[in-house]
Each structure stands twice: as C-alpha cells, then as structure tokens.
Amino acid sequence: MARKRRPEEEEKDNSERWLLTYSDKITLLLAVFIVMYSMSVADAEKFKSVAGAMKTAFTGEAVVDTQPQDTPGQPGDENGNEAVVSFEQLYEQLLDNITQNGYDESISVTQEDNSIIIRFNEAVLFYPDQANFLPDGHNVLGNISGIIKNLEQCIGHIQIEGHTANTDPNNDYNADTTMFAWQLSCDRSLAVLQYFSDNKIIPQRKLSVVGFAHYKPVTTDNTEEGRAKNRRVELRITRAE
C-alpha cells in the first residue's frame, strides 16, 4: 500500500519547480553565447537578430525592426536614388571642369532626361582632317575621362559619335569625298574609344562607336563658322538602369 505523502513534502516539491524554468533559461542563454562566439566575423545584423531572438525567448515580446530597409527608389540600392544623385554629380562635375579649364568655347555639356551629351569641337582634339590627337588633345580628354571613371557606376552606356562638315552641298554622289567623311568620322570615334580602353576609363561593354559623316549637322554648313561647329566628336552618356 502506497504511503500517503505528507503536506510538507508536497509543499517542498512545489517550491523547487522554479529551478526547472531557471535551468531552461540558463541553457538557452549558454546556447546563445556559444553561437555568438562561433561567429568569426562581427556582423551587426546577425548580432541584432540574435539579440532579438533572445529578448523574445526571455520576455515573450516580439521585436520589431524599425531601421529603414533598402527598397527601390531609396538611396543605396542599385536602381534607386543613388544612381540619380551620381548622374547629377557627373553632369555638375563635367560642367565645372570645362569652365575651370577654359574650354567653354570648344567643349559643351548638355543634359537630357536620361543622358548627358559632351560635344568636342574638332579643333580641341584632332588635327584638321585627321584622326590623330593634337598634343593637348590627350590632356583635354584625360580631364573629362577622370570624372567619367570616378562615377562609372552611374553610367549605363557611352556612344562615341564622329561628325564631319559638308564642304560641298552637291557632293552627295561624289564617292571619294563622301567615303572620306565616313572614314574620318568613324576613325575619330575609334580613336576616343581606344583612349578609353588603353587607360581603362570604362569597360568596353559600355562603349560603342558610330560615324555620321556630315549627315547630322548641328548648324548650317554654308559658313566656315558653321562647318567648324559641325566638325565634332560627341559622347552620349546614358544613365545606368
């Protein structure tokens, strides 16, 4: 026949039940410290996650992350405002560089919705009717290229365009004259691409070249001043998507 437990014994058993809960929490705490110690590299996000889980285990309260997250359209994400800011910086720095170096009359910078156009007059980069750089041509291109290289992450593509002037409105069917214009405009574009490539300014996958000969003038070819403006190289820089 089982012995009936005395009231004092039952009271003693109940008074020691807190040890079970205490030991469970100590075990959990030890496990947390082991996990934290095993992390070879300090990681703030992991620490925050572990701390939150620890708080939930001890208090039963859910931890709500109030820190802003990277979402599309927020600074810091690949396709958000960071690219917008950098592209604006690219335009401003190009403009300041041209002004400070006194190239206002031979280089211009304009901005459209998703692109920046840098226009070099022939006289600032190349010898007349040649695709060879002037002695100062590399320096001029180098100043611009330094800015492009620093902000390359916000550039999606650069199209290098060569343009010539039409010295004879009736020469459209003159094969020799027309082919020379095509060749010269393409060669000048390639010369700029070669400079970018040799100096590792921007990856070649972001570059393309095109020659327009004299078929995309910015003004009339009826005057020497107009023809001088039409002889140019343009960099059409597109914003990164």
Q: Where are the beta strands (DSSP E) in 85-192?
A: 107-111, 115-121, 155-163
pLDDT at 78: 46
- pLDDT, tens digit (0-9, with 9 covering 90-100), for 10-48: 555 556 665 666 667 777 776 666 766 665 444 555 556
- Return the residue matching tokens 């022939």: 122
Burial (CB count within 10 angstroms: exposed 0-12, middle 13-18, buried 19+), residue 199 = middle
pLDDT at 77: 44
pLDDT at 107: 96
pLDDT at 176: 74
* Closest-CA residue to 103 (of 123, 79, 133): 123
pLDDT at 101: 92
| Bridge partners, 239 (sequence order) | 155
Q: Where are the beta strands (DSSP E) in 16-130?
A: 107-111, 115-121
Q: Which two tokens stand for residue 77?
A: 């994400």
Low-confidence residues of the chain, pLDDT below 70?
Answer: 1-23, 30-33, 35-85, 169-175
Contact 86, 78 (CB under 8 A): no
Q: Which helix (H) or strand (E) holds 143?
A: helix 137-150
Contact 163, 209 (CB under 8 A): no
177 three-class SS:
helix
pLDDT at 71: 37
pTM score above 0.85: no
pLDDT at 66: 42
Tell me the C-alpha distance between 116 and 88, whole Å: 10
Tell me the C-alpha distance between 185 and 166, whole Å: 12
CB atoms inside a 10 Å sphere around CB 101:
13
170 three-class SS:
coil
CA dist 203 → 111, 153, 193 (Å): 22, 11, 10
